[in-house]
Amino acid sequence: MTAQAKAFPFPTTEKTLSNGLRVFVVEYDSPGLVAYYSIVRTGSRNEVEPGKSGFAHFFEHMMFRGTKQYPTNKYNAEIKAMGADSNAFTSDDMTVYHILAGTSALPTIVTIEADRFQHLEYAEAEFQKEARAVLGEYNKGASDPLQPMVEALYDHAFQVHTYKHTTIGFLRDIEDMPNQFAYSRQFFDRYYRPDNVIVLVVGDVKSDTVLPLLEKNYGAWTGGPSRPAVPVEPPQTKEQRTTVPWKGDSLPMVLAGYHIPAFSPSSVDSAALEVLAELVFAERSPLYKRLVLDEQKVEHIDGSAERHVDPNLFTILARIKKDEDVPYVEKAIEDEFARIAAQGTDAKTLSEVVSRTRYAFAGQLSTADKVALVGAEFLALTGNLSSIDETFATLARVSVADIKRVAAQYFTPQNRTVVVLEPEK
Amino acid sequence: MLLSIAVAASASQARADQNGIRTVLLPSPSIPLVTIRLVFQVGAADDEPGKEGIAALTAAMLGEGGTVQRTWSEVLDALYPMAADIHFYGDKDAYVFMGTVHRDNLDAFASLLAEQVLTPRFANDDFTRLRQDAIDTITKTLRGNDDEDLGKQALGTLLYPKHPYGYPTPGTVAGLKAITLDDVKGFYARTFTRDRLIVGVAGGYPEGFPDRYAARFSGLPLGGPRAPLPPSPKPQGKQLVFVQKSAHGDAISMGHAIDVTRGDDDFYPLAVAASYLGEHRTFNGVLMLNMRQKRGLNYGDYAYVENFIQDGWTTFPLPNIPRREQHFEIWLRPVPPKSAGFAIREAIYETDKLIREGIPAAGFEATRAFLLNYVNLWAQDGSRRLGFAIDGVLYGKDVLAELKARLPKMTKDDVDRAVRKHLSTANLSIAVVGDNVKALAEALVAGKPTPIVYDTKDTPADVLEEDQTIERYPLDVSASRLKIVSARSLFEK
């Protein structure tokens, strides 16, 4: 694979409908299969009102509660008849609805998806029952200590920005969801609008047959009210630190987050931070080998610079074998960032990281559904698919000096939030 | 001797070479990726008494330990520039060592993978690390970080008492502590034999590669026939285990052993019945519609007629975890403790209805139509297609091809007959993980009503009326068949 090869090499057609809805058709060799993704550029980041944390995710559930033309049971029967894999997910920055089915089902898919995005209608009783399914989802995750740890990390790392709460939301807000029926209608009115949604179709399709279908079914959709701004987080000025007690058995864990800038495909810092994550935490890294293989103090360690619309965190997780080693492991991680800030890395290692990242990305694009999933993330973050090639072009430009600079700039104690899990003795 | 094994899956080729090593090939010359799956018919069922966990630990020594030629640290260095990783996983009856790599790097990756399996280093430091990881997996992660998996594993102890399927695949605490490095070396020599190996290759590999590659494993010894599983007792009557631990909700798994696997004709109508009750992570099953959608009880409710592990973030079954014995299972994701008794009763009520009344004609037609298309999604890439083709060799029937061939001819009567023959709620084993489970256990044994507690309004009248039946639905649980245990006591030995 050459560095010049396109990272996203598939024939792509893009069109903006007159109402502002943007549609992308990607022709991909998946005989008889099509992946249909509806991407709402709204996630828990947009939950700006107090007491409404978790609402974007809750609303994702409500989108399966039917319309006049396709009440829930009829919608479900259509999905079942086409033998589709259909679901949705919500993150900080996006809500994504996806259907994978036979290509012959595409006209039906467009019809039922366009219908629910424009004409969603549900009764308060159904709304309340679904609110309790969301509580069930919270309870499902609550036996994993990572859920309260992640909640504590973002709660402490952010003061005013909505990244302060996780996508599932605070338990107190989830428990109150049955009382938010009126707000749910406002949420739909505000965010489920053509200028805030992107439709992505990937698979055994031709754009000249798909585009007319999309225009016909989404053409009458209209714009809505303006949307509230998301607050800007001021710089963190001192280290934040907290503990999460855990009733029951667990390895002790450390979850740390360092503030980093918003993702941008043209940002060398974004690319350099992704490279740094590999340099520090990949299984062949000196830190991994020291803590996991040689000293055997750590069962698992990873770190990543996740892509976000607004400035977010570089997160680090370590599961540690003994309580008394927690400070030692924290210090080892800090020292490794300091070492790279001072010494950088060699050109061969940097080139291997870039090469591995490219190959790994190419390996991800192995099915229509996976191509659509990758495309959806970039569309939600940047609004276009050309940002994929741009991201990898930027990655190829990252220098050792860039690595040293971002390691020194972002990985300082005052820029850090640390959460330590303390299992009961 | 050349053996020929017929595989129903289209375009896959399965055969055995002169050394008895079976190969399954799925050529796709236009695809630049190649997947290799080395499947050994070795799993927890091969554990030796008192050494529970030795199969998993031996597999870990192969999958993430060093080789004679290089330490594990050096293996990681070698893998990194290839953008490939060695993955391995396993269950009771098989382990798979696998990876997918760009064909630019095929030879180097394939050599490393072969090295792992053929010339394990059995280094002391790898052994110490991996055995401690396995102990922590049981004592910390399973007991304290994942109630849903804990419920499933607790169910396993009821379904398979005094049987090698009756504890988690990683082993027991006492078993793992008793294992020495010499034990692992001996176990490897006895069980990782060439007659237990299938070499699978899929994707854009060069001509001649699979034969050359399979020949590399000819140095493995022959092991002879595998020991049969001990008889499974198939407990009669209901039995329950309540696992006490701090928890937000009650995680529930229930089921009973069945005499059917993918190799049997009755598996396929039973698969339709399970899909009708609750296909994994879909929204159309009877359990999901009635428990989550109508009543808001929890996040999800599903049914299975074989051991099911989800493949990564997909909703589809993980291939290469074949079992010689299988079970029917219902999985209820955590429910509010105040409604847990109701949830248990509702799952049994819905299953009894299916057994008693049969699958509704419309439900049968809709489920059959669904599965005919849905199974096409189970194997979207070469790696998964290869996995299912290998399972086809292990079971004697490829589940994807069989479903496609059988569903068009299947009738509602086929499903009803198989359900009546193989499923029964009278013999259910039930595992509940939660806080304060004692009161729930006592209510169920006493046969007291366990009403659902709604904190939502306007539940439809027909649902409320049905609730009255469900909250009193007979369970026939005897106090002598009920255990309350702490999470910390599970899987100790």
Condensed to tens digits (0 to 9), the pLDDT of residues A113-166 reads: 999 999 999 999 999 999 999 999 999 999 999 999 999 999 999 999 999 999
pLDDT tens string A57-81: 999 999 999 999 999 999 999 999 9
Q: Let me know if residue B388 belongs to a domain.
A: no
Boundary (domain end) residue, out of B190, B219, B248: B219
Smallest Cα–Cα separation from A285: which of A208, A222, A350?
A350
B419 φ, ψ (degrees, to nearest 5): -65, -50
* CATH code of B157's domain: 3.30.830.10
Say if residue B36 is in the same domain as residue B77.
yes
Is residue B231 in a domain? no
Provide the 3-class DSSP secondary structure of residue A291. helix
pLDDT for B313? 85
* pLDDT score of B132: 98
pLDDT at B11: 59
**Same domain flag for B430 and B326:** yes
Residue B387 domain-assigned?
no
pLDDT at B8: 33
B182/B277 same-domain check: no
Tell whether B356 and B456 lie within a shared domain. yes
Residue A300 contacts B, CB cutoff 8 Å: no
Structure tokens at A266: 């043209």
DSSP codes of every residue in A74-127:
HHHHHHHHTT-EEEEEE-SS-EEEEEEEEGGGHHHHHHHHHHHHHHB---HHHH
- Rounded Cα distance between A12 and B487, Å, is 53
Q: Does A352 touch chain B (CB under 8 A)?
A: yes
Contacting residues of A for B367, CB less than 8 Å apart: 80
In a structure prediction context, what are the per-residue pLDDT tens digits for chain B, which is 493 residues long? 223 232 333 457 778 777 789 999 999 998 889 999 999 999 999 999 999 999 999 999 999 999 999 999 999 999 999 989 999 999 999 999 999 999 989 999 999 999 999 999 999 999 999 999 999 999 999 999 999 999 999 999 999 998 999 999 999 999 999 999 999 999 999 999 999 999 999 999 999 999 999 999 999 999 988 889 987 777 889 999 999 999 999 999 999 999 999 999 999 999 999 999 999 999 999 999 999 999 999 999 999 999 999 999 889 999 999 999 999 999 999 999 999 999 999 999 999 999 999 999 999 999 999 999 999 999 999 999 999 999 999 999 999 999 999 999 999 999 999 999 999 999 999 999 999 899 999 999 999 999 999 999 899 999 999 999 999 999 999 999 999 999 999 999 9
Does position A367 have pLDDT exceeding 60, yes or no?
A: yes
Sorted by where each starts, the structural domains of chain A and their CATH numbers stand as: 12-218 (3.30.830.10), 240-423 (3.30.830.10)
% of chain A with per-residue pLDDT over 90: 97
Residues B170, B49 within the same domain: yes
Residues B58 and B205 in one domain: yes
Structure tokens at A71: 């009440």
Q: How far is A238 from chain B (nearest CA, A)?
A: 32
Residues B308 and B257 in one domain: yes
Q: Would residue B267 count as lying in a domain?
A: yes
Distance in Å, alpha carbon of A229 to nearest chain B alpha carbon: 32
Structure tokens at B62: 């192969």
Residue B229 included in any domain: no
- Domain membership of residue B479 as a residue range: 239-381+396-489
Same domain, B63 and B96: yes
Is residue B232 situated within a structural domain? no
Which chain A positions have a beta carbon within 8 Å of B133's beta carbon? 299
pLDDT of residue B7: 33
| Together in a domain, B376 and B329 | yes
Q: Considering only the beta carbons, identify the residue of B82, B315, B381 that sits closest to A366.
A: B381
Structure confidence at residue B5 (pLDDT): 33
- Residues B243, B485: contact at Cβ < 8 Å? yes
What is the pLDDT averaged over residues A405-409? Answer: 98
Residues 6+ apart with CB under 8 A from B468: none
With beta carbons less than 8 A apart as the criterion, state whether A333 and A256 touch.
yes
Same-domain check for residues B212 and B298: no
Helices (H), ranges, A229-367: 268-281, 286-288, 326-343, 347-364
* Residue B215 maps to a domain: yes
pLDDT in tens, B289-319: 999 999 999 999 999 999 999 999 889 999 9
Answer yes or no: do B215 and B246 share one domain. Answer: no
State residue B10's pLDDT score: 43
Name the one residue in this structure whose structure tokens are 């701090």. Answer: B246
List the Cα angle B49/B52/B55 in 5-degree steps: 110
Residues 364-393 (A) with a CB less than 8 A from some CB of B: 366-369
**Chain A contact set for B112 (CB, 8 A):** none
Strands annotated E in B233-346: 239-244, 250-258, 301-304, 326-335
Q: Is residue B230 part of a domain?
A: no
Q: What confidence score (pLDDT) does residue B16 get?
A: 78
* Count of domains forming chain B: 2
B476 vs A294, A320, B238, B472, B485, CA distance in Å?
55, 46, 7, 11, 21
Which pLDDT value is given to residue B6? Answer: 29
Task: Check whether residue B246 and residue B187 sit in a common domain.
Answer: no
Rounded to whole angstroms, the Cα distance separating A282 from A301 reads 9
Q: Residues 6 or more apart from B38 whose CB is under 8 A from it?
A: B96, B97, B98, B113, B117, B197, B198, B199, B200, B217
What letters, b where the CB count within 10 A reaches 16 and e where it falls short, cover A386-399? ebbbbbbbbbeebe
Chain B touched by A96 (CB under 8 Å) = no
CA atoms within 13 A on the CB side of A50: 2
